[in-house]
Structure 1
């Protein structure tokens, strides 16, 4: 449900003008659709129910029930929203999309993109990221195509920064043919696997989902949103064809040099930093406020005692490190996954096994 979308006159009048504008900015209204997208398709009244039930099924990636839709394994409960998104979404030429395979640095990139594009709107003392999860500032598009979601989406002022986990081939023609920008981030598949497994375990009370099981499913390309290699390649290949449309980032490169990559992102989206901003340390401030350690320590991003199963903000912050796979994969497992990655990416010019 949309939370705090309506404020009483007395409440509003007690705020300063700046606070009023921030409270009423629909970009910053926390709103979640997890209740809908995690529903088994049998429990919905979707007109696509029979079609979705006929799709290939994957039940091993706990706690999800996945269906193969257009070549990728998606939550069955989100597929009706994906279909609506594909048929109905109307982009604005000023839109900026943050796209990724799940658990590839999405949260961090959302925070950076939001801060760069809206840096003249918010100061660093009362910045929205200090009280809101990055996913509340930059909403995922797929779940929004349900009750209230589209109204919320249309109410966001331009330039909108919006999130996507869909593969490029699943995007509506309205996005592909528009002038809007896309920023894609990927990472070493070994680390993506580890992070995805941890998130999945955190979303269920039953902790019996073994990493060895997740590894096999991931290698088969049947994990949530998988296969990862096709997902990455679609954006990579398109970024080579349309470099002004898609900025392709690698998580490990961003960790190694965040300042340079923030500057690169700002130039790409048409919001370059001025000499004065660089002198005043604005880039450093953005890197700092978006840093993993800073975001993780905020109350809004911590697990709440007694929180329900949709209290998931804490699952977006684990370690934020590159190379944590070494604590989970045996050398044999790492070699096997690297070999799959090399084979899948062969001839593309993209190398993720070096990470």
Structure 2
């Protein structure tokens, strides 16, 4: 497998230090952050001109500034719940399930449930986008949030704030077969890229992905970080696979509730609470809600883009047998000896 040569990237970056960061990337960046970013290895991005190698993973310029601010200022509470994911691996679904499970006594499953009128990403905000995605001088006041507070993130485990790692807050992590994750990412990011950037061809995107160059990647590093920590601290991190969640949603909803310290009672199970949460958060239900079909979210991408197929194995419709074999071999090599496989 071709490896990204960090030394070469750094040398390349040194020769380009005089270049300005592109307009969309320098928007809302502090001067200090602009200077710092120019010192980082960079490669062509998927929906921005560049991705930068920061703390061992690839991300956009604005994400770097937000992550630094988050690392410095976020103070976790023991009751916090962090929904951590690889992009395009069931993030929206897991956020919805976590919110419904944790808040089932506050919000009964009815026509007025928040998930019927708000997108899951609004109810479980991203730390690196929604919470700390504004100007670095604007620190959000999180003290008045109802507990338990729920946050989402794509940040690899080593780069989470120390307060999260050292507190009794809990992390639910989900990942997905990289073959499906790649295809879903490629389709999604081509949809939300700015018009002035050309569409990223499948073959080029695949080559970048195999080199680990994708937001919050390399994918295998992100997986292994949470996987190893979940083994070392099972009361801290619940590690889920998208495929397992799809295969037995009933079992895993109860597993999530137990992990979060709010297990379902026998009475709740008998009265259909678990089933109601499963139906409320189902792909079919969420996709048809008006709040998830119209309007924009985050950095001006259409809400409907969050809901495509939610199928396992859709990669066969896009990847050649040779491409599938290459990525499968890479993942086997990267995960060998860890106990994690797909």
Mind listing any 5+ residue stretches in structure 2 that lack a counterpart? 1-22
Mind listing any 5+ residue stretches in structure 1 that lack a counterpart? 1-37
CA contact (8 A) 1:108 1:290 kept: yes
Could you report, residue by residue, the CA deviation over 1:235-281 in whole angstroms, capped at 9, with x for unpaired residues?
A: 00010000000000000000010010000000000010011100010
Query: More displaced, 194-203 or 61-70?
Result: 61-70
Distance, in Å, in 2 between the alignment partners of 1:334 and 1:293 is 28
Distance, in Å, in 2 between the alignment partners of 1:100 and 1:81 is 17
CA contact (8 A) 1:138 1:162 kept: yes
Task: Please state if 1:249 is matched with 2:240.
Answer: yes
Which residue of structure 2 aligns with residue 133 of structure 1?
119
Which residue of structure 2 aligns with residue 27 of structure 1?
none
Task: Please state if 1:55 is matched with 2:46.
Answer: no
How does 1:1-355 map onto structure 2 within 5 Å?
39-41=24-26, 44-125=29-110, 126-143=112-129, 144-145=131-132, 146-147=134-135, 150-204=139-193, 205=195, 208-304=199-295, 310-352=300-342
Could you report, residue by residue, the CA deviation over 1:57-97 in whole angstroms, capped at 9, with x for unpaired residues?
A: 12242345211100100111111110011111100000010
SS at match of 1:92: coil
What is the CA-CA distance between 1:308 and the residue it aligns to? 10
Distance, in Å, in 1 between the alignment partners of 2:75 and 2:306 is 29
What is the CA-CA distance between 1:307 and the residue it aligns to? 9.4
Distance, in Å, in 2 between the alignment partners of 1:151 and 1:62 is 27
What is the CA-CA distance between 1:313 and the residue it aligns to? 1.8
Distance, in Å, in 2 between the alignment partners of 1:42 and 1:313 is 23
CA contact (8 A) 1:66 1:76 kept: yes
Distance, in Å, in 1 between the alignment partners of 2:104 and 2:297 is 32
TM-score, normalised to structure 1's length? 0.84
Distance 1:209 1:159, change over 3 A: same
Distance 1:89 1:215, change over 3 A: same
Distance, in Å, in 1 between the alignment partners of 2:298 and 2:182 is 25
Distance 1:292 1:64, change over 3 A: farther
SS at match of 2:226: helix
Distance 1:60 1:91, change over 3 A: closer
Distance, in Å, in 2 between the alignment partners of 1:278 and 1:207 is 51
Could you report, residue by residue, the CA deviation over 1:38-66 in whole angstroms, capped at 9, with x for unpaired residues?
A: 94137633422101121111224234521
Could you report, residue by residue, the CA deviation over 1:98-136 in whole angstroms, capped at 9, with x for unpaired residues?
A: 001111111100000000000011122211111111000
Distance 1:181 1:130, change over 3 A: same
Distance, in Å, in 2 between the alignment partners of 1:43 and 1:84 is 13
Distance 1:329 1:303, change over 3 A: farther
SS at match of 1:185: strand
Aligned residues: 314
What is the CA-CA distance between 1:350 and the residue it aligns to? 0.6
Distance 1:117 1:43, change over 3 A: closer
What is the CA-CA distance between 1:188 and the residue it aligns to? 0.2
